[in-house]
Amino acid sequence: MNFQLTEEQRLIEQSAHDFAKEYLDPVVEQLDHTGDFPKAIIKELANHDFLGLHLPADVGGAGAGFVSYVAVIESLSRSCAAVASIMNNQAMVSYAIQHWGTEAQKKQYVQALVKGETIGAFAIYEHGPTPGIGPDALAATKRDGGYVLKGTKAYVRNAGEAGVYVAFAITDSAEPNALTAFVVDAKATGLKVGPKLNTMGLRGCPVAHVTFDNVSVPETAVLGAVKSGREIATRVLTLASVAEAAQTVGIGQAALEHAALYAKQRVQFGKPVATLQAVQTLLAEAATDCYLARLGLRSAAQLIEDAKPFETEAAIVKSFLARLGSKILVDTCQVEGGMGYSEAMPLPRLFRDIAGTTLLDAPADFPDYAIAASIA
Partner 1 sequence: MSILTAEQQEIKKAAKEFVAKHIIPNAAEYDKTAEFHPFLLEAAKESKIFTMAIPKKYGGLGYEAVTQAVVVEEWGYGCAGMGTTLAAGVLGMDSLLIAGNEEQKQRYFDPILKGGIAAFALTEPGAGSDAAGVRTTAVRSGDEYIINGTKCFITNGGYASVYVILAKTDPSKGVKGISAFMVERGRPGFTIGETEHKLGIRSSNTVELLLKNVQVPAGNLIGKEGDGMKIAMMTLDMGRPMIAALAVGVAQRALDECVKYLHQRFPGKLQPGQTLQFKLADMQIQLEAARQTLHYTMNLRDSGLPYSKESAITKTLCGDVAMSVTTQAVSLMGSYAYTSEIAKLMRDAKIMQVYEGTNQIQRLVVSRAVLSPAPAVAAGQKAA
Which residues of the chain form contacts with partner 1 (CB under 8 A)?
125, 127-129, 154-155, 197-201, 207, 267-270, 273, 278-279, 282, 322, 326, 330, 333-334, 337-338, 340-344, 348, 351-352, 355-356, 358-365, 368-369
Q: Which is nearer to partner 1, 94 or 319 (CB)?
A: 319
Least distance (Å) between residue 285 CB and partner 1: 13
Q: Which is nearer to partner 1, 33 or 143 (CB)?
A: 33
Residue 290 and residue 328 in contact, taking contact as beta carbons nearer than 8 Å: yes
Q: Which is nearer to partner 1, 171 or 199 (CB)?
A: 199
Q: Which is nearer to partner 1, 47 or 281 (CB)?
A: 281
| Long-range pairs, 62-68, Cβ under 8 A, ≥24 | 64/8, 64/9, 64/12, 65/9, 65/301, 65/305, 66/239, 66/242, 66/301, 66/302, 66/304, 66/305, 67/5, 67/9, 67/298, 67/301, 67/302, 67/305, 68/8, 68/9, 68/12, 68/13
Secondary structure of residue 328 in the 3-state scheme: helix
Least distance (Å) between residue 221 CB and partner 1: 26
Residue 84 and residue 42 in contact, taking contact as beta carbons nearer than 8 Å: no
Q: Which is nearer to partner 1, 72 or 371 (CB)?
A: 371
Q: Which is nearer to partner 1, 106 or 209 (CB)?
A: 209
Amino acid residing at 190: G
Least distance (Å) between residue 247 CB and partner 1: 14
Least distance (Å) between residue 237 CB and partner 1: 13
Phi and psi, residue 37, nearest 5°: -65, 125
Q: Which is nearer to partner 1, 177 or 268 (CB)?
A: 268
Among 5, 118, 14, 121, CA closest to 76: 14
Find the helix or strand (DSSP H, E) in which 299 lies: helix 277-305
Least distance (Å) between residue 178 CB and partner 1: 21
Least distance (Å) between residue 115 CB and partner 1: 29
CB neighbour list of residue 61: distance below 8 Å, 6 or more residues apart = 52, 53, 54, 55, 114
Least distance (Å) between residue 73 CB and partner 1: 19
